[in-house]
Amino acid sequence: LTKERFPNLKRGSYGIVDSTDIEFFKNLLGVTNFITGEEVKSYNEDWLKSVSGFSKYVLKPKTTEQVSTILKYCYKRSIAVCIQGGNTGLVGGSVPVFDEVILSTSAMNSIISFNKLSGVLVCQAGCVLENLMNYVQSEGFIMPFDLGAKGTCQIGGNLATNAGGLRLIKYGSLHGSVLGLQAVLADGQILDCLNTLKKDNTGYHLKHLFIGSEGTLGVITKIAIQCPNTPKFVNVSFIGLESFDKVLSFFSLVRKEFSASLSSFELMDAVAIKSVQKNIGIKCPINDNLKFYVLVELSGDNNYISHSIQEFLEKALDENLILDATVADQPSLIQNLWKIRENIPESLLRYGYVYKYDITLPHELFYEIVPEIRKRLKHLDVKAVCGYGHLGDGNLHLNVATIEHNVEIASAIEPYVYEWTSKYKGSISAEHGIGFLKRKYLKYSKSNLEIDLMKKLKNTIDPKKILNPYKIFPQDEIN
C-alpha cells in the first residue's frame, strides 16, 4: 500500500536484520514474544488500512529493561524501530513504512500501583485504556480521558499521540493529568521522570517532550497519571437542531448554565448519523431527519444537573432553539447514546476508505469547511462527506468516505483543507498527531523556527534516527 501510494519514498540507510540479530532477540524475549511469519501481517497495517509496511519481525518486551536492551542493540546495529501500542492511530504513525522492526508494548500491561488518597495510577505503557478505566472505577475513580478506541488503544500510545478525546473540555489535556513517565531513549538509556506528585518545578519538564512525540523520541514504558474521583451523577442528552448557528447558540447557553459540570459537547451532522444507522445498524434515538445533533454530557456531585437540564431543554424546545431531545441518567442508557457518537469512525470505514481530517478551528468557522468540501467533490465518486467531533474544544473531524483510495479525490481535498485551516490560524492536527500521513503538511501549523527546533531536538535525542523514521518530518528534511 505505502509503496504504491508513495513511490518516491526512499528507505533510510538502516541495518538489515540478519540471523545473528534474530538469535539475539529470541534469546532475550523467548520465542512467544518474538513474532515472525504470517502473524506479523496485522502489525504492518494501520486501523484505517491506509498505510502498510513490510516488517518481518515484532518484538514484545515485558519490561523496561528488555526495551532498553533491544534499543541499545538496535542503536549499535543502526536497525530502525517502529513503536506500536494498540495500533488505533489515525495518521499512519504506528506501522512501519519499510522493514523497521516493530516494538510492540502489548506485553507491558501491568498496573504497578494505585494510590487511593491521591488518585495517582502508575502502570506500564501497554495497559489497554478500557482495562485501566475498569480498574480505577472499582476504586471510585475515573481516567481523566476517554476515546472511542478505548477497547484497543494503550495508555503509552495515548501519551505518545497526546490523545484528546471525549472529556478534554472538563479534565484538560494529558500534559496536565500525566504527572510523570519513564521512557527508554534510542541508545537504550532509561530516562526516569516517573514523578507521582502534583507539584514539581525543578527545571525543564522533560515528560512533556514525550507527550505527543509519536514514537520519535523514545519508548514510553511507564506512566503516572492523576485520576479524578468518579462523579456521583452523570447525565447525557442527545439533541437535534436545524442549523449550525443554532448549535453555536445552544453551546454558548449550555456553557453559561453548566460550565463546571460540562464534560462533553459533541457534534454530529446528519451524514454522520445516517452512516451509523445504515452501516452499523444503530438507530437515532430522536427524529432522524434533522441537520445537526449534539451529545451533551454533564457530570458532577450534585443531582441538580438532572433536574435543571430537563428544564433547560424544555425551554430550548419552547423557544425553537432545539427541535428534539432525549435525556439519560442510567449507565446503560447513557452508554447507548454514546455508542452512536463512538461508532461514527467505524461506520464510515465500512464504505471502504476514509480521508480523515482532524482540525481545530475557531467556533464560528467550525463547520464551514464541510459544505465547502462537499462542493469541491460534487462530481466525484464519494459516499459521504461529514463533520463531527469535539465541538466543545473547537475540534472538527472532517471525514470523506469513498469506496477506495483515489488520487483525484485526494488532490481535490489536499492541500486545500490544510491551506484553509492555516488561513484561519487553526491546527491541521487537533489530536491525532502528524504521523506518516500528514508529515508534508506540518508547515501549515508550525513556523520554520519551530520545525527547526523540533529537528534539533530529534537529532540530539536520537542522532541515528532509528526511532519511528519517516514520521512527523518530511523525509528529505530528516533522513
Q: Residues 431, 442, 475, 478: which binds ligand FAD (CB under 6 A)? A: 431
Residue 129: Cβ within 10 Å count: 25
Side-chain-side CA neighbours of 259 within 13 Å: the count stands at: 2
Q: Site mask, ligand FAD, residues 316-345, x = CB under 6 A?
A: -----------------------------x
Residue 67 CB, nearest approach to ligand FAD (Å): 9
User: Could you give the CA distance from residue 283 to residue 94 in angstroms, rounded to a whole number?
Assistant: 33
Strands 81-84 and 101-104: parallel
| Candidate residues 47, 388, 420, 470; the one interacting with ligand FAD per rule CB under 6 A | 47
Query: Per-residue DSSP letters for 275-295?
Result: HHHHHT-PPPSS-TT-SEEEE
Q: Which is nearer to ligand FAD, 12 or 164 (CB)?
A: 164
Residue number, nearest CB to ligand FAD: 157
| 129 or 298: CB nearest ligand FAD | 129
Cα–Cα distances (Å) from 373 to 74, 167, 444, in that order, read 45, 28, 18
From candidates 45, 99, 100, 214, binder to ligand FAD by CB under 6 A? 214
Q: Which of 64, 84, 237, 402 binds ligand FAD (CB under 6 A)?
A: 84
Tell me which residues in 124-183 interact with ligand FAD (CB under 6 A).
Answer: 125, 147-149, 153-154, 156-158, 160-161, 163-166
Angle between helices 244-258 and 304-318 (to 10 degrees): 150
Measured from the Cβ of residue 152, the count of other Cβ atoms closer than 10 Å reads 16
Distance of closest approach, residue 205 Cβ to ligand FAD, in angstroms: 17
C-beta closer to ligand FAD: residue 103 or 305: 103
Nearer to ligand FAD, 273 or 322 (CB): 273
Q: Which of 68, 94, 124, 299 binds ligand FAD (CB under 6 A)?
A: 94
Q: Please, which residue, 93 or 392, has the CB nearer to ligand FAD?
A: 93
- Close Cβ partners of 175 (under 8 Å, ≥ 6 residues apart): 162, 208, 211
348: Cβ contacts below 8 Å, ≥ 6 apart: 272, 275, 279, 354, 384, 386, 399, 401
Angle (CA) 99-104-109 rounded to 5° is 180
Among 12, 85, 300, 426, binds ligand FAD (CB under 6 A): 85
Closer of 216 and 235 to ligand FAD (Cβ):
216
Here the cell at position 208 is 512533556
Q: C-alpha cell of 467?
A: 526511532
Contacts with 87 (C-beta within 8 Å, 6 or more apart), sequence order: 42, 43, 46, 47, 94, 95, 152
Residues near ligand FAD (CB under 6 A), total: 38
Cβ nearer to ligand FAD, comparing 160 with 295: 160
Which CB sits closer to ligand FAD, 159 or 247? 159
Which residues of this chain interact with ligand FAD, rule CB under 6 A?
47, 83-90, 93-94, 105, 125, 147-149, 153-154, 156-158, 160-161, 163-166, 214-215, 219-220, 345-346, 431-432, 435, 468, 471
